[in-house]
Amino acid sequence: MSVLLPVKNRLPYYFLSAAGLSAVLFFFSTGFYDNWLLTWLAPLPVCLYALQARAAHGALAAFAAYSLGALNSWGYLPLPLFAGSTILNAAAFAAAALLLRGLVQSGQAAFASFAFAAAWTSFDYVRSLVSSFGTFASLAYTQTLNLPVIQLASLTGIWGITFLLMLMPAGLAIAWDCRKQGRGCRSVLLPAGGLLAAALLYGSCRLYLPVAGPVVTVGLAAVPATRAELRSLDSASITRTLQGYSRNVDALAAAGAQVVLLPEKLAFLAPENREAGLALLSRTAARNRVVLVAGLSLQQEWLANTAVAFASNGSLTAAYDKQHLLPAYESHYTPGDSLAWLNTDGTAAGLAICKDMDFVWPARDYSRQGAGLLLVPALDFHDDGWLHARIAVLRGVEGNMAVARAAQWGLLTISDSHGRILGMTATDATTGEATLLGRLPAGGGRSLYSLTGDWLAWLCLVATTLAVCRLRWPRSD
């Protein structure tokens, strides 16, 4: 006599195992973790469970798995915001799992894995349009160090990466379920595997091709400062800060820098000290014959979070006002609405600031207009330095642009248009002043994605709608 419990009696154990394992995989592959391979596996246990459990149990397992996995970011966001976003994300994941289950049970297994991936990608896209945090929460950024896969962003944006991340585990789960029931699984595995193979082939070929743009020697610097010092209106304090940066520019220029990038909000320039502060930066650029970009809080008719750029002769050639402001913290700033350009030894470079990189725009605008380099002053909040830096790397791949990003409380990073990180230095206050110097090949801009837009995301929206309709009105054969 068998000692095994009947299947229906074993389902509670399967529930705990599936939800628990997926939660652990999500926990260690998202947020502050970089175990990108685990992200591909995280949905698999829940998908397997959803195919054999009742609908309510499958949805609950998916909801629990995503919610528990999100605890790796506990304390990073204010509690109400963390709770609201986690519940919304978990509910969307549960809905996708229900769609997967329903399609398989209605005899549409070959379509189900694509529908699951399309549903989550659609949610990821719509969330980016309505959220004040843009694309920040996308799972695509977990793959930043997976160079062959992230090349897909130059064709599809991050949506292609998200789609593959969900397609593969769903396909494996369906194939396993078909095999258990004695049905063939080739119609499920071959299309999904073929897409992954095509993406890897494209990524490998793109990485093999050299970046043909001109090489710019870029220097980045960050001087330790407290929040009070960055907000200070005291002229002596502002002068000390700017003189400290001026010395860093001198050192980087002496080492060969052609362009020097400084962080966001490094000083608050009110009308009474604005001209003196800008003049100091202008003299620094002219003395060293470098292009100098610095982030400042500028009080004029309005308060703006601005990146100013000085040419090698010291003239102020560009000013860019941050377009995507951080809710609450920057509610007193006025957002900008235009691009800013400068020429760096024959390379068209665009300016953006910190949180702008969390959104598809304005980076996509710069790419469409031929920018080969993005210069991004940033701030960050210590622990989230890599979270934001890796997003900027993906923006560069999307737009076929090199990216230099200098964060006051995060990382100094330079990455090429293929997403290779060519230099990275922490700007933790305990390490003192931080500088980074590197030779950065500019990209060509004008990627397929920047020219055609979010075509895959819209295709996923259509596919999701079709899947829901097919679920409601299943095939009669």
In this structure, what CATH number is given to the domain that contains residue 256? 3.60.110.10
Eight-class DSSP state of 393: H
Q: Is 2 domain-assigned?
A: no
Place of tokens 């409380």: 409
Query: Average pLDDT in the 267-275 region?
Result: 92
For residue 477, the model assigns a pLDDT of 42
Q: Is 389 domain-assigned?
A: yes
> Rounded to whole angstroms, how far apart are CA atoms 252 and 221?
9
Q: Is 165 domain-assigned?
A: yes
Pair of tokens at residue 338: 């235009």
Pair of tokens at residue 50: 């959803």
Q: Do 58 and 167 belong to one domain?
A: yes
Q: What are residue 109's phi and psi, to 5 degrees? A: -60, -40
Three-state secondary-structure class, residue 275 = helix
For residue 7, the model assigns a pLDDT of 46
pLDDT at 42 over 70: yes
Q: Do 198 and 321 belong to one domain?
A: no
What does 154-197 look like in DSSP terms, one character per residue? HHHTHHHHHHHHHHHHHHHHHHHHHHHTT---HHHHHHHHHHHH
Q: Do 185 and 222 belong to one domain?
A: no
Range of the domain at 13: 7-209+454-472
**The length of the chain, given as a count of residues:** 477
Q: Is 449 domain-assigned?
A: no
Query: Average pLDDT in the 289-293 region?
Result: 97
For residue 4, the model assigns a pLDDT of 45
For residue 8, the model assigns a pLDDT of 52
Please name the helix (run of DSSP H) or strand (run of DSSP E) that holds residue 16, with its range, or none. Answer: helix 7-27
Q: Do 84 and 192 belong to one domain?
A: yes
Q: Do 59 and 78 belong to one domain?
A: yes
Q: Do 85 and 23 belong to one domain?
A: yes
Cα angle, residue 377 at apex, residues 296 and 307 outer, rounded to 5°: 40
pLDDT band at 213 (very low <50, low <70, confident <90, very high): confident
Q: Is 296 domain-assigned?
A: yes
Least Cα distance to 94 among 130, 123, 73, 114 occurs for 123
Q: Are 392 and 403 in contact (CB under 8 A)?
A: yes
Buried b (16+ CB within 10 A) or exposed e, 232-261: beeeebbbebbeebbebbebbbeeebbbbb
Buried b (16+ CB within 10 A) or exposed e, 60-96: bbbbbbbbbbbebbeeeeeeeebeebbeebbbbbbbb
Give 150-183 pLDDT, tens digit per residue: 999 999 999 999 999 999 999 999 999 887 776 7
Give 66-113 pLDDT, tens digit per residue: 999 999 999 888 899 999 999 999 999 999 999 999 999 988 888 999
For residue 275, the model assigns a pLDDT of 93
Give 363-422 pLDDT, tens digit per residue: 999 999 999 999 999 999 888 999 999 999 999 999 999 999 999 999 999 999 999 999
Can you say whether the dihedral through the CA atoms of 152, 157, 161, 164 is positive or negative? negative
pLDDT band at 345 (very low <50, low <70, confident <90, very high): confident
Minimum mean pLDDT range among 205-214, 317-326, 388-397, 409-418 = 205-214
Q: Which residues pair with 219 in a beta bridge?
A: 260, 437
Other C-beta atoms closer than 10 Å to the C-beta of 444 total: 16
Give 428-475 pLDDT, tens digit per residue: 766 678 999 999 999 999 999 999 999 999 999 999 999 999 876 655
Least Cα distance to 151 among 406, 397, 468 occurs for 397
For residue 184, the model assigns a pLDDT of 66
Number of domains in the chain: 2
> Rounded to whole angstroms, how far apart are CA atoms 100 and 345?
53
Q: Is 448 domain-assigned?
A: no
> Rounded to whole angstroms, how far apart are CA atoms 279 and 292?
12
Q: Do 49 and 178 belong to one domain?
A: yes
Q: Is 387 domain-assigned?
A: yes
Q: Do 406 and 458 belong to one domain?
A: no
Number of H helices, E strands in the chain: 17, 13
Q: Do 15 and 119 belong to one domain?
A: yes
Q: Do 269 and 195 belong to one domain?
A: no
Q: Is 477 domain-assigned?
A: no
Minimum mean pLDDT range among 21-30, 84-93, 421-430 = 421-430
Three-state secondary-structure class, residue 122 = helix
Please name the helix (run of DSSP H) or strand (run of DSSP E) that holds residue 384, with its range, or none. Answer: none
Q: Do 150 and 13 belong to one domain?
A: yes
CA 336 from chain centre, in angstroms, equals 21
CA distance to 193, 198, 316, per residue, from 172 (Å)? 10, 18, 57
pLDDT at 247 over 60: yes
Q: Do 245 and 143 belong to one domain?
A: no
| pTM score over 0.75 | yes
